[in-house]
Structure 1
């Protein structure tokens, strides 16, 4: 017999209100990625003023005309996106059974945490509190982990976890598994084909970016130097210093833009 609370949660999960909530959140997520892509391309062209991560994108938006209003909209949208994934984590993926359902719900929970973190950053900026540097925060966290017993092993495990997320994103793009989240109208015809390619390119680019972060954490664990770790912006700066670095960063930036555009298509053709 199903508990009343679970029945209510399932009704919420099946409601059109959740669809609308998800659409607004995806639009906000798309805007963040468009700005991240633009900042990455600027980085590839030699401009190092803006940080090419979600925090940097939010700060950049806040500095534009009507920027605070847009950042408020981004923050609220990301809260809604986090709530959508939280509902999925509790009662979603009911078409699956056993371990597959548990895995999908854990993934939804992880997404909810990520979206909530972006929302917190946006809302802090919206109310006038300048977001702290992600790189400094990452270094501090890494240093604390490194000081723990088996700290080097823990940081290595974090690197492995980030690499798994990167692999998931790349696999999602290569195998087009994201198509399960889009209705059939979103993949029909030339426009649908364009949507599919935006998704494939976007997921692979996101995966490549996250993989570079995993590499930094892995290097920090191997060298026992917390300052070798960092967030996405630090990872891109490291890649920038390599042969053909600007080209690679430019491609990643273009991929972020592709993912942002795909989020707009996803919002229009969402299929939960």
Structure 2
């Protein structure tokens, strides 16, 4: 009897389940849920750009908008469950590795762990909202509160500055990878027609660059808050998006970024359909 093969069986079975239909379903549900959030945030930002914004362009505003739709409660629960699927998918990547030749490397697993933690928090906030807790405030309030608390601890300025710099660098990395179409490595391109591939590239490039720009600007505001020791200078998603309208280009830059976020939402739907999991 081969005891080593027997010992490996539970892990191999767990990997098979994680990479099988259940794991694939969780990943595609999560990507769809991500697409819904970005699509709604982009639409809210467009409304702000054209002077008709009644809600904040962040996750809280997107959830409130969704709640006002027919069957809004059911949609919120479905969104939260989809995000739980995203978190579980990222957890499976931590445990068993992700798609690609270097998917089992420590760097990839660490990145998946960060994504798992992020989507666990997002799923919790969405499910809390669906359960009637009303969420935990706007992204702007949360950002300022967290920054203020961190600035009070020893080496707080370095912590906030380092986190802001990390977010800004991540934003640039996201934008550059989108512009270079690095997402092609994760898509089943052979299943797409030439026209579909071109449309996906439009959403992937424009959406990824817009998303990266938002991250980069938000990170820059955090660095500024750390340098000036003023937590109010840190900005959440809503204030970050509004800041694009304060540039010399005026609201038209916000229109471009908001449209890009809508496109990223559509790109997430395409990923849910054609991504290799």
Q: Which runs of 5+ in 1 are unaligned?
A: none
Residue equivalent to 1:101: 105
State which of 168, 178, 182 in structure 2 corresponds to 1:163.
168
- Secondary structure of the 1:199 match is helix
* Partner Cα separation in structure 1 for residue 192 and residue 227 of structure 2: 44
How many corresponding residue pairs?
A: 271
- Secondary structure of the 2:105 match is helix
TM-score using structure 2 length: 0.91
* Partner Cα separation in structure 2 for residue 211 and residue 124 of structure 1: 28
Greater mean alpha carbon deviation, residues 105-114 or residues 5-14: 5-14
The answer on 1:120 being equivalent to 2:120 is no
* Partner Cα separation in structure 2 for residue 158 and residue 231 of structure 1: 14
Please say if residues 75 and 120 of structure 1, whose CA atoms lie closer than 8 Å, have aligned partners that are also in contact.
yes
* Partner Cα separation in structure 2 for residue 47 and residue 94 of structure 1: 43
Residue equivalent to 2:134: 130
Deviation of residue 14 (structure 1)?
2.5
Cα gap change, 1:150 to 1:17, in 2 (>3 Å):
same
Residue equivalent to 1:243: 248
TM-score using structure 1 length: 0.93
Q: Which runs of 5+ in 2 are unaligned?
A: none
Within-5 A mapping of 1:40-189: 40-93=45-98, 95-96=100-101, 101-131=105-135, 132-189=137-194
Deviation of residue 42 (structure 1)?
0.8
The answer on 1:258 being equivalent to 2:263 is yes
Spell out, residue by residue over 1:197-249, the C-alpha distance to the aligned partner (whole angstroms, 9 max, x if none).
21111111100111111011011011110111021111112222222131111
Spell out, residue by residue over 1:16-35, the C-alpha distance to the aligned partner (whole angstroms, 9 max, x if none).
22112211111111111110
Select the structure of larger CA radius of gyration. Answer: 2
What is the alpha-carbon root mean square deviation over aligned residues?
A: 1.9
Residue equivalent to 2:225: 220
Cα gap change, 1:198 to 1:94, in 2 (>3 Å):
closer
Deviation of residue 162 (structure 1)?
0.6
